[in-house]
Amino acid sequence: MEPMTEEKSGVETTERTNVHRARSMSFMRRIMVKTPSAAIHPESVPEPPEQIVAERKERPLTNFLSGLLSFIAIVAALVGGVFVYAERQVYAPGPLDADKVVLVRGSTSDVIDQLEREGIIDKGFLLTLYWQITGRSSQIKGGEYLFKREASLDQVTSVLIEGKSILHAITIPEGRTSQEIVDLLQADSNLAGDIKDVPKEGTLLPETYKFARGMTRTQLLDHMAQEQAKTLREIWAKRVPDLPIASPQDLVTLASVVEKETGKADERPRVAGVFINRLNTKMRLESDPTVIYGLIGGRGSLGRGLTKSELQQATPYNTYLLPGLPAGPITNPGRAALEAVANPSRTKDLYFVADGTGGHVFADTYEQHLKNVAKWRQIEGEKTDPSASIAQPPASAAAKAGAASESNDGSTKAAPQTNTNTKAKPAPAPKLIKKKAANPDANPDAAAAPD
């Protein structure tokens, strides 16, 4: 039994020796010095385990939807990019290097073509697309517009939609006849159309009127007539109650005479007062402009002074021969003249004559009027003809005292009527004297009636 024990003991000893040797070799390998390159690489890399790839089943609908969504996303991105670019271009400064006025007419395409030709825009296609997308094509209005420097497409669109055209102006001076007003309108190239009929005298209000290019002349005349009717109603309603004026038409008639007699605003109420006083005392107005209108109508200037025979020529407007007012207005009076007649100065004046400074001097007696005439002649430096004096008609118990009034050109009127109690002495028939106009805006035809 012992030999087997020794053999078993020897085997165990050998195994322990091998284990110890293996451990020593492992330790020695661990403590063995390695190069840097060898230290960072393992001695052996295990192979990865084999992967089992499962076969995928084909799904056509899923693949189609996935592709469609991808396509839509790409298109949306492109459209969004284009939209952002277009929006920036719509609000970007335009090519116009200075403010410019352009008359826009025609269809939408015509308007865009015209804007491109005028250099207002340089992206006509984009503007067309912008109008169509926003629905603004139907809102574009034609007209004459001012486009600002570097106006964007959006700003250009706003101008065309608002339709605030440039307004032109025409001024109608006070004291123009209807024919003269028609001539002024015909000469304005910003207006369109012809005038068939000349409006009645006194139906138009002299004023400054604004209008858009292309407005017809007839439309503007209608507007003037409406303004005159409106103004007349307002003034007639505010007139003083004791006027010898029967109707608004009579007010216009007398205002037209006042308008032609003086061009000074501060004198109109006093000149109106003279004529009101004459009407109240049944004296003839004796106004030169009424005689001229009776001779030539509304054609304007006579071109010379009145002659004695013309003063005696019977017409429906000759206030040297006819009592009261002339047959109708002799011009289109302005607001100031209408207001002057509706509210005249409260004086006793019956006469007026030029003072040599563009105005007039007034008198309530014939004797004072003669002195004023003499002063005016002295100022003008004219030599009085010995035969020129104040003509006196035959005395009449029924006649009212009267004398010459002064026209707006500075010329005195015909001799006054006088009654048997007048102190004025009869004199030879007067000689016509041409005198310098007192009002530069007055009718140049004014002529002296006998002094």
User: Is the confidence at residue 6, as pLDDT, over 90?
Assistant: no
Cβ(345)–Cβ(269) under 8 Å? yes
210 strand-pairing partners = 169
CA–CA separation, 159 and 150 (whole Å): 13
* CA 400 to mean position of chain CA atoms: 52
pLDDT, tens only, 103-123: 998 899 999 999 999 999 999
129: tokens are 């697309």
Specify the amino acid at residue 293. Answer: Y
Four-residue CA torsion sign, 82, 87, 90, 91: negative
Strand, coil or helix: 319: coil
Tell me what the mean pLDDT of segment 134-150 comes to.
92
Secondary structure string (H, E, C) spanning 254-310: HHHHHHHHCCCHHHHHHHHHHHHHHHHCCCCCCCHHHHHHHHHHHHCCCCCCCCHHH
Which residue, chain included where needed, has tokens 């670019």? 85
Burial of 409 (0-12, 13-18, 19+ CB in 10 A): buried
Q: What pTM did the predictor assign?
A: 0.67
* DSSP structural state of residue 137: G
The residues, any chain, with a CB within 8 Å of residue 429's CB and separated by 6 or more, are 387, 391, 450
User: Is the confidence at residue 46, as pLDDT, over 50?
Assistant: yes
Angle between helices 153-162 and 124-134 in degrees, nearest 10: 60
HSE of 87, CA atoms in CB hemisphere, 13 A: 7
* CA 271 to mean position of chain CA atoms: 35
Which residue, chain included where needed, has tokens 């159309």? 193
Taking all residues of the chain, what is their mean pLDDT, rounded to a whole number?
79
CA–CA separation, 41 and 362 (whole Å): 131
Tell me what the mean pLDDT of segment 380-405 comes to.
39
User: Is the confidence at residue 363, as pLDDT, over 80?
Assistant: yes
Q: What is the largest CA-CA distance in the chain?
A: 202
For each of the domains in the chain, give its residue range(s) and CATH number, in order of start: 100-162 (3.30.1490), 167-231 (no CATH), 245-451 (no CATH)
Which residue, chain included where needed, has tokens 């430096």? 381
User: Is the confidence at residue 223, as pLDDT, over 90?
Assistant: yes
pLDDT, tens only, 151-175: 999 999 999 999 899 999 999 999 9
pLDDT, tens only, 238-285: 999 999 999 999 999 999 999 999 989 999 999 999 999 999 999 999
pLDDT band at 302 (very low <50, low <70, confident <90, very high): confident
Taking phi first (over 0 means left), then psi (-120 to 50 degrees means alpha), and beta for anything else, what does residue 58 get? beta
pLDDT, tens only, 63-83: 777 777 777 878 777 777 767
pLDDT, tens only, 314-345: 999 999 999 999 999 999 999 999 999 999 99
